[in-house]
Amino acid sequence: MEKVIHSGAAEIAPDLKDGQEVWYLPLFGVYHPKKKDQIRGVFDSSAAFQGVSLNSVLLTGPNLTNNLVGVLLRFRKDAVAISADIEQMFYSFLVNVDHRDYLRFLWYKDNDPDNELIEYRMRAHVFGNSPSPSVATFGLHKRTRNSDEDIVNFVEKDFYVDDALTSVPTASQAVDLLKRTQTVLKNNGNIKLHKIASNHTDVMAAFSKEDLSKEIKLLDLEKDLLPIHQSLGLSWDLSTDNFVFHVDFAKKPNTRRGCLSMLHSIYDPLGFAGPLVINGKVILREITALYDWDDDIDPSFVCRWESWKDSVSSLQQVTVPRMYFTKSLSQSETVELHVFCDASEQAVSAVSYMRLPTETGIEVSFVFGKVKLAPLHGHTMPRLELCAALLAVDVAEIVNMHLNSKFTITKFYSDSMIVLGYINNQTRRFYNYVANRVERILRTSNTSQWNYVKSTENPADLGTRGLKSAQDLYHGWLRGPEFLYFNIETVNESFPLINPEQDKEIRVNANRTVEASAGLIRLILATVENSLSSKLTVPSQVDI
C-alpha cells in the first residue's frame, strides 16, 4: 500500500459535497500458493450493495488482449527469445478526476496500522475493475502508435496484457528493440519496461540489474547457470532454451470438486500434454455423471484418478525445444504445415507439425495440438471423425493466422475413408449436419490437401486414446510420425463415397427420387382411370 500511495496511484480523498455520488471498494489480500510470504491487495469491484456493484454498471470495453496461443506460437520462431514486463501497468493510466470518487476505500492514515482509518481514493485504474484491461491496453498501444514499425508490432502483437514475449534472429536486434521500446514508453507516459529475461546472456548484459528479472539480478551472467524463468504460465529453462514441466498437485479431497480443481491446475495452452490430460477429463466426466460436487467418490474412481495423476507427474521428464528449428523460422523459405486428425467415442483430436527440408536432412517440429472430449450423445463415428477434420482445419487456421508464415505446402491427414469421401464428394447431397461441416472444411482447405494416413501412423490417434506415460508422449505426439522425416511422394488419391446407398448422412439420389415419383404418379393415374371407367360403364340392358 505504501507503494500504491507514494507512486501517486492513490490519494487522500477530499471532503464530499452534499448529495455527491460515491462508492467504496472493499480491499482484500490475495496470496500466491508458491509465494506465501507475499500478499497483493485487490479491490473487490464486484462487491454488491443493495444488489448493485461497481462492475455491474461499468462497461468492459473492447477486448484488446492478444490471443495467448498466438503470442506463444510467435515466441518460438527465432533464435533469441526475450521476456519483459510493464511495471504496475494499470497504475500507469489515470482515471478522470470526476470519476475518482467511485474508487474510494478506507486505509490507515500515513499507512500506519496504529493510526485511524481515513478515506483514500484511487487516481489510477485498479486491478479488479472490468474495464481496466481494455483501458490499459488501449493506453499502451496509443503510447507507441507513432513509433518505429517494429516497436508498434512488438507492443501491439507480442504483449499479453502487461507481459511481453517475443523472439528475434539475433541478440543485437533484441537489445536494440528493447532499448528503443523502453525509451518510447518512458518518454510517452513514464511507463517502465523491466523484468527482462533472455536465453542469450548478451541481451541481459546490455541492461542494468534493476531492469532484469528478479531471479537473474543476482547472477554472474558469465559464470552462473541461467535459471528456469516463469512467463505466461510456462516454465522456460533459459540455459537450455527448452520448455519444461513442473507438476505439483495441491492436496485436494477425493470429490468431484477436488478433481476439477486438480485438472484445472494443469496449464498447457499449446497442447504439449494433450494425450495425458484427456484421460483426466474422461474420468472427471464419468464422476460428474454420478456424483454431486462434494460427494466422496468410489474407491475405484480414486484408484483411476491417482493413476492418472502419476502419469501427468511424469511430464517432469519431458522437455520441448522452445525454438521450432535450428534455423530461425523467419529466415526459412520452404516450411510445410502438416495437420493430423482423429476421433474416438471419448475424444476428438488434431495436432500440427511444421516440416523443414534442409541440406543436412529434414527437421520436424510440434506446433499446436488440441484434444477435446467427444460429444456424449447422438454422434456416429463418421460424425465424430468429421468433427475431428473440422478441428484440424481450425488448428491450421490458428497457426496460419498467428505465425504469418507462407507455408509452401499445407496437408491434412485423416484415417477415416468415410470422411475423406465426404470431403471429396461432388455427386451427392448430404443432410445438414454433414453438409455444414464439409462446407466449413472446404472454406479453408481444398480437396487436394486431404490425405489418408494409417491409424498406426496417425499421431492424433494418441490424443483420442490417451497415453499413460510421458515417454510415449514424446515418441508419438511431440516428435510426429516417422514418415515426415523422409521424402514424401506426391500421390493423387481419389476418395469415393463409402456405401452411399446405406449411409444415412447422404440424401436419396435425385434420379432415384424422380423414378420413384414417376412410378407413384403412374400408379395414381391408373387408379383414377380405373375408378372413372367403372363409373362410366353403360349397362348392356336398360329399362325404359
Q: Map out the domains of the chain as residue ranges.
A: 2-244, 256-309, 320-485
Distances (CA, A) of 145 to 90, 131, 138, 154: 19, 21, 10, 11
pLDDT of residue 522: 64
Best CA proximity match to 25, nearest among 49, 4, 59:
49
Edge-to-edge strand order for the sheet containing 80-86? 159-160, 163-168, 80-86, 193-198
Q: Provide the pairing of β-strand 347-358 with 361-373.
A: antiparallel
pLDDT of residue 85: 97
DSSP tag of 476: I
pTM: 0.89
pLDDT of residue 542: 36
Note whether 423 and 385 are within 8 A (CB): no
DSSP tag of 262: H
Residue 227's SS3 state is coil
**Using CA atoms, how far apart are residues 402 and 387, in angstroms rounded to an integer?**
23
Q: Which residues of 336-375 are buried (b: 16+ CB within 10 A; e: fewer)?
A: bbbbbbbbbebbbbbbbbbbbeeeeeebbbbbbbbbbebe
Strand blocks (E) in 89-215: 104-108, 117-122, 159-160, 163-168, 193-198
End-to-end CA distance of the chain: 122
pLDDT of residue 201: 97
75: Cβ contacts below 8 Å, ≥ 6 apart: 81, 158, 165, 166, 167, 322
Per-residue pLDDT of the chain in tens (544 residues, 90 and over written 9): 898 999 999 999 999 999 999 999 999 888 876 677 788 888 999 999 999 999 999 999 999 999 999 999 999 999 999 999 999 999 999 999 999 999 999 999 999 999 999 999 999 999 889 999 999 999 999 999 999 999 999 999 999 999 999 999 999 999 999 999 999 999 999 999 999 999 999 999 999 999 999 999 999 999 999 999 998 989 999 999 999 999 888 899 999 999 999 999 999 999 999 999 999 999 999 999 999 999 999 999 999 999 999 999 999 999 999 999 999 998 898 999 999 999 999 999 999 999 999 988 999 999 999 999 999 887 899 999 999 999 999 999 999 999 988 899 999 999 999 999 999 999 899 999 999 999 999 999 999 999 999 999 999 999 999 999 888 898 899 999 999 999 988 777 889 999 898 888 999 875 444 444 455 566 666 665 666 555 544 444 434 3
- The CATH class given to the 320-485 domain equals alpha beta
24: Cβ contacts below 8 Å, ≥ 6 apart: 104, 105, 106
Q: Provide the pairing of β-strand 27-32 with 409-414.
A: unpaired
Distances (CA, A) of 397 to 31, 54, 91: 38, 38, 36
